[in-house]
Structure 1
Amino acid sequence: MRDSRLAKLRARMQERKLDALLVTSIPNIFYLTGFTGSAAAALVTFDNVFVLVDPRYTVQATAECAGCHVVEYANKSATVALAEQVGELDIATAGYEADDLTVSAFRRLRAGIPKRVSLRATRNLIEELRRVKDADEIQLIRKACAIADKAFEDVIGQISVGMREKEIALLVDSTLRRVGADKEAFETIAASGPNSACPHASPT
């Protein structure tokens, strides 16, 4: 699955004459490598995928990112570590995720990367691939829908008059986990009465 994603990404990189792509968006890193941690950077070339993590995530990345080179960095930012990794490779043009990097992060990146390397802004290079779901993703979506349906049926049967919204939200969360969910997509919203007019109500 990841191999086909990388193949499609590399084809797009070739079209744009990029030797490498610097990936800083955590959802995009997960999509390409399977890494589920909350802090990392990745460097995709035509030969390798480097996943850069701090010591908290080395063991996890090694287990999750099969086929990738896991690089541990310490006492520096992911951006600086990424720049150093680029400097070790024979790269002339590298793309970066323009909509993910802050100005300060880009400046650190530019300062750390050798001047021989040209940086080129990219937008939606990976996101456009993510829009088309593969068979595994479709199966996972169907599974998630079935879990949500089962949880809803179970919760409806347990709600009673007088329950607080917070109690219902907690019931939803625990039921989702019990029937197979890993976690909630966002904080559960349970709203009743006048509060139900607020799409993003906070349970009381």
Structure 2
Amino acid sequence: MHNTRLGNLAELMMENNLDLILLTSRPNVRYFTGYGGEGIALISSDGAATLYVEPIYLEEAEHSVPEKISVTPVEEIYDPLAAAVEELREKRITIGVDSLPVEKYSELAASHSMVIKPAGGLIWRIRSRKDAWEKELIREATAAVESALEMAFDLLMGDSQASEIKTIVTEELMRRGADAIPETPVITPGREVYRRGDTLT
């Protein structure tokens, strides 16, 4: 799965004359490498990928990514992005970035041997294509959320505390196959009276 995505990205990189792409967005890093924690990834136009993580996340990262992806712990600078920027500084390359803090962009831009281009559109071209198995995962995720919202509604009709509802909703999502919750559910019953068929936001 991830190797296929990297291969597709590499093809687009070659078409757009990019030597490397620097991924700093966690969703993008996870999409192309399988690792969902803190870290950044460098993808080359031959499809090779290097994941930079802090030492504390090394074991998790190594178990999350395909063998093709190299995992590099940041030993001295506890900042994966800073380490990658330092490594790239003097290279004569054209690099695409999905997003980059201003100070890091300035550091890269200071290198006269490097050309920096936005790569968000390129990445979206790949992420917007959904294979059959991806569509099935989306259907499963939608069903899981609907189930959790049904439970939340039923609990709101009773006398459950917000913290209890939040815990139950999170547990239901995990039970239905989620491996992480992107945002903590916010449960604020307030003083409203809810009826079946109401829209909860």
- List gaps (5 residues or longer) in structure 2: none
Which residue of structure 1 lines up, in the alignment, with residue 101 of structure 2? 102
Equivalent-residue separation in structure 2 for 1:75 and 1:178 (angstroms)? 39
Correspondence list, 1:73-152, <5 A: 73-76=74-77, 77-86=79-88, 91-97=92-98, 100-111=99-110, 115-152=112-149
Q: Is the 8 A contact 2:17 2:94 kept in 1?
A: yes
Aligned-partner residue type, residue 6 of structure 1: L
Aligned-partner residue type, residue 59 of structure 1: E
1:91-116 CA deviation, whole Å, 9 max, x = no partner? 5211222xx212112123345xx543
- List gaps (5 residues or longer) in structure 1: none
When the two structures are superposed, what TM-score results if normalisation uses the length of structure 1? 0.77
Correspondence list, 1:185-204, <5 A: 185-190=182-187, 191=189, 193-194=191-192
SS in structure 1 opposite 2:105? helix
Provide the alpha-carbon RMSD of the alignment. 3.0
1:167 offset after TM fit, Å? 3.6
Q: Is the 8 A contact 2:11 2:45 kept in 1?
A: no
Correspondence list, 1:1-204, <5 A: 1-37=1-37, 39-47=38-46, 48-66=48-66, 67-76=68-77, 77-86=79-88, 91-97=92-98, 100-111=99-110, 115-152=112-149, 160-190=157-187, 191=189, 193-194=191-192
1:158 offset after TM fit, Å? 5.7
User: What is the aligned-residue identity percentage?
Assistant: 29
Q: Is the 8 A contact 1:96 1:121 kept in 2?
A: yes
1:39-86 CA deviation, whole Å, 9 max, x = no partner? 211111123111111101111111111111111113323232112333
Q: Is the 8 A contact 1:173 1:184 kept in 2?
A: yes
Q: Is the 8 A contact 2:90 2:114 kept in 1?
A: no
Q: Is the 8 A contact 1:79 1:109 kept in 2?
A: no
Aligned-partner residue type, residue 29 of structure 2: I
1:133-167 CA deviation, whole Å, 9 max, x = no partner? 12222121122233334445555666654334444
Equivalent-residue separation in structure 1 for 2:163 and 2:60 (angstroms)? 34
SS in structure 1 opposite 2:121? coil
Aligned-partner residue type, residue 118 of structure 1: V
